[in-house]
């Protein structure tokens, strides 16, 4: 069997992720580093390891949830030496982890990681209509016409968005969302201004909107709200499919339970 296929089947990483592990020199077979794609292994007798940890045939894939703070780039490595989400998750324990989708550096909230490439692909594929809930602090007061436009679909430069669900939050719901926007100690003047604005709600004319999408275009929430003339000040993702952060502290992660993993598979039409 091809080594990258073995790694993917064993739950070490997705097929593409397995290839990246090999070319980075992180995979050994019987103690020897193997970097050549297409190399063969015998699952019955060869010992395969990633970063020194033996990968067992038939091992269950791992999926975890992270409450991403602001200030971290959604990538597992960065050539510009910026802080990445890889700094926040247990890559030493699960070397094949990769993020399912991405959140902007200044966006907080629920980010999933998995070693299951098929699950990750399914959760992001538009045909499965997996919902994601975002809370956004925006400039100005969002009116009924703006809400209808978001629900009907907004024309962007790459086409009209799919219908969404949108509503303006008030009372306790608004307070809960505002608490999510308060980020860590700012490092720049721009971050300081954003943090102060998020804490105060800027003024009575700012709105907190909940937007539920089934698409995953680049910067989609920010572009949709800008298109209705309400630029985003702060953005947070609270749910992904059937999962919510459910009290997970900012910057913390946890492994999904078997029931939660099954719910994700059902969301993409699996057993």
CA distances from 69 to 59, 120, 194, 232, 239 (A): 31, 21, 14, 17, 15
Q: Which helix (H) or strand (E) holds 266?
A: helix 258-267
pLDDT at 5: 84
Radius of gyration of the chain (CA): 21
**158-180 tens-digit pLDDT:** 999 999 999 999 999 999 999 99
Lowest mean pLDDT segment, chosen from 23-37, 48-62, 73-87, 222-236: 48-62
pTM, two decimal places: 0.79
Enumerate the β-bridge partners of residue 165: 212
What is the predicted pLDDT for the residue at 40?
A: 93
Over residues 215-252, the pLDDT tens digits come to 989 999 999 999 999 999 999 999 999 999 988 999 99
* DSSP character string of 78-137: -TT---BGGGTS-TTTSTT-EEES---TT-EEEEEEES-HHHHHHHH-GGG---EEEEEE
Q: How confident is the model at residue 198 (pLDDT cuts 50, 70, 90)?
A: low
Q: Which range scores top for mean pLDDT: 43-57, 91-105, 159-173, 175-189?
A: 159-173
Beta-bridged to residue 53, according to DSSP, are 50
Element housing 32 (H / E): strand 32-33
* Alpha carbon separation from 7 to 11, 26, 91, 115, 161 (Å, rounded): 6, 12, 16, 10, 37
Q: Residue 190 burial by CB count (10 A; 0-12/13-18/19+): exposed, middle or buried?
A: exposed
Q: Looking at 102-116, 196-210, 240-254, which range is the least confident one?
A: 196-210
Q: Can you tell me the distance from the alpha carbon of 77 to that of 84, in angstroms, rounded to the nearest whole number? A: 7
Write out the catalytic residue numbers.
104
Q: How many CB atoms lie within 10 A of CB 159?
A: 9
pLDDT of 155 higher than 50: yes
* Weakest-pLDDT range from 3-12, 110-119, 235-244: 3-12
Question: b/e string for 20-44 if b means 16 or more Cβ within 10 A?
Answer: bbbeeebbbbeeeebeeeeeebeee
Higher pLDDT, 167 or 79: 167
The beta-carbon contacts of 176-179 under 8 Å, at least 24 apart in sequence, are 177/135, 177/137, 177/208, 177/210, 177/236, 178/137, 178/208
């Amino acid at each position: 069997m091809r080594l990258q296929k073995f790694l993917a089947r064993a739950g070490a990483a997705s097929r593409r992720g397995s290839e990246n592990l090999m070319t980075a020199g992180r995979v050994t077979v019987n103690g020897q580093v193997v970097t050549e794609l297409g190399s063969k292994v015998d699952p019955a007798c060869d010992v395969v390891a990633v970063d020194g940890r033996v990968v067992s045939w038939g091992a269950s894939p791992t999926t975890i949830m992270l409450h991403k703070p602001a200030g971290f780039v959604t990538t597992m490595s960065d050539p510009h030496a910026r802080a990445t989400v890889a700094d926040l998750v247990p890559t030493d324990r699960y070397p094949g982890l990769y993020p399912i989708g991405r959140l902007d550096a200044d966006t907080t909230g629920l980010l999933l990681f998995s070693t299951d490439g098929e699950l990750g692909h399914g959760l992001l594929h538009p045909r499965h209509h997996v919902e994601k809930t975002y809370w956004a602090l925006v400039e100005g007061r969002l009116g009924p016409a703006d809400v209808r436009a978001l629900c009907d679909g907004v024309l962007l430069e790459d086409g009209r968005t799919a219908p969404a669900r949108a509503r303006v939050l008030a009372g306790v719901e608004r307070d809960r969302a505002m608490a999510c926007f308060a980020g860590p100690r700012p490092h720049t003047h721009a971050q300081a201004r954003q943090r102060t604005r998020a804490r105060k709600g800027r003024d009575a004319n700012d709105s907190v909107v909940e937007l539920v999408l089934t698409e995953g275009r680049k910067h989609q929430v920010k572009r949709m709200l800008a298109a209705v003339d309400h630029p985003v000040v702060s953005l947070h993702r609270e749910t992904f499919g059937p999962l919510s952060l459910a009290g997970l502290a900012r910057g913390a992660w946890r492994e999904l339970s078997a029931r939660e993993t099954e719910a994700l598979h059902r969301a993409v039409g699996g057993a």
